[in-house]
Chains A and B, each alone.
Chain A
Amino acid sequence: MIAESAMAGEAIALAQQEDDLLETAVREHARLVYRIAYSVLHNPADAEDATQEIFLRVLRYGKKLAAVKDQKAWLATIAWRVAVGRRKNTAVVAAGAEEPGETLASPGYGADRILLEQERNAVLERLISALPSQLRDALVLSTLEEIAPREVASMLGISEAAVRSRSFRAREILRERLLALTGPRT
């Protein structure tokens, strides 16, 4: 009887510990996870759905969560995989589907400026989507402030130098295409 109650108490304590760990992970890394998902999916609703899915996976991971050494890198990797999987399964929603000023346009600007920025961002998203996946992945992850190049390298399974060179090449391509779109300056 005593042993049973002790075991029950232990189980409750473990469950409580799991809850605490999960809550801490959500509070600390939810934004990073969201940004990674957003950088891949380019849609706030999809990014939030992906974030939900990622943390549900973490919930199923249960007891093993305590054994994870670097939670941030671990969550970033899961987020990246889930987001890439979603991108493959669903067509990327056009940026025009977003509500004006919802995400990327800076507050405090005039309506013309906001619309112009939205149009530019839509163009840029299309150009990024058209990049080869290796270059696109390196570029997208490099733009996230929270992730160091070392972590990007481990997420993509390549070296840091490769991350840098891919990111550089992606920027070069984007620059060329933007110039081609806007026309040569006089």
Chain B
Amino acid sequence: MDPMERERDRVVEGGLEDQWLESALIQFGKAEPRVGLENRLLANLRAERAQAHRRRRWWRALGMVASLAAILVAVRVEERDRERKPESTAATSTTNRAEARELVQPRPIPQIVHPATTHPATEAVLRRPAHRPTRDLAVASTPKLAQFPSPQPLSEQERILASYVAKYPEHAALVAQARAEALQQDSEEEAAGNVGNIR
């Protein structure tokens, strides 16, 4: 006989309290649910599954919308960057180039030529500047900007010049040409004057 059954028998034989205890414990173990428990459970499970399915669909749709929005924002930012780049590149490149030319080019140094050393072979050597000005070299060797083109905005004068060129390109071209010619003429005259002085 099973020890539990033996023990149960002993308890049942024990008396009224034992009998009552035993019957109550057996009743506890035989508690019956309300009718239709299985059907209620299944209905709830079906509802829960449908809800989970709906929730999953919503999350999927939400995810798609979010990713679409992210893509749109990225595209917009990229477009804006592209729109900005040519403007700033043009503006800064012109100013930078002009500045750089000015900085790197050595200033014309008055050439000292002794009358005794006016040999044509040595003339070229003598005309070369004896030494480059240190200040210019120092300025020219300034470190490159971390960002290119420079993010500095155009100055007032540059902006006026740019708008003038944009409005009257032909006239601006003519003015530029005239200015270039004048500069060339000046430099020629200067060169001629220098030669005269040397002689």
Chain A residues proximal to chain B, CB less than 8 Å? 22-23, 26-27, 30-31, 34-35, 38-39, 44, 47-48, 51-52, 55-56, 59, 103-104, 106, 120-121, 124, 139-140, 142-145, 149, 164, 167-168, 171, 174-175, 178-179, 182, 185
Contact = CB atoms under 8 A, between A and B. Distances in A.
B45 A22 contact: yes
Given A34-B33, A48-B33, A144-B29, A120 B45 contact: no
B84 interface: no
Most central of B3, B14, B45, B48 by chain A CB within 10 Å: B45
Contact of B24 (A47, A120, A164): A120
Given A23-B42, A145-B29, 11 more contacts: A22-B45, A39-B31, A47-B33, A52-B40, A59-B48, A103-B32, A104-B24, A120-B24, A143-B26, A168-B7, A175-B11
B48 A185 contact: no
Given A144-B29, A145-B29, A120 B11 contact: no
B156 interface: no
A38 B24 contact: no
B48 A143 contact: no
Nearest to A31: B33
Interface in B9-27: 11, 14-18, 20-21, 24-27
Contacts, number: 96
A35 B24 contact: no
A55 B41 contact: yes
B37 interface: yes
Contacts of B34: 44, 48
A164 B29 contact: no
Contacts of A104: 24, 27-28, 31
A48 B37 CA distance: 8
Contacts of A39: 28-29, 31
A26 B38 CA distance: 6
B49 interface: yes
A145 to B, nearest CB: 6
B33 A26 contact: no
A159 to B, nearest CB: 13
B37 A31 contact: yes
B30 to A, nearest CB: 7
Contacts of B116: none
Contacts of B7: 164, 168, 171
Contact of B25 (A30, A51, A143): A143
A30 B34 CA distance: 12
A30 B20 CA distance: 28
B44 interface: yes
20 contacts: A26-B38, A26-B41, A26-B42, A34-B37, A35-B31, A38-B28, A38-B33, A39-B28, A48-B34, A51-B37, A55-B41, A55-B45, A56-B44, A59-B49, A104-B27, A145-B29, A171-B11, A175-B11, A178-B17, A178-B21
B41 A30 contact: yes
Contact of A121 (B15, B27, B30, B49): B27
A62 to B, nearest CB: 10
A35 B20 contact: no
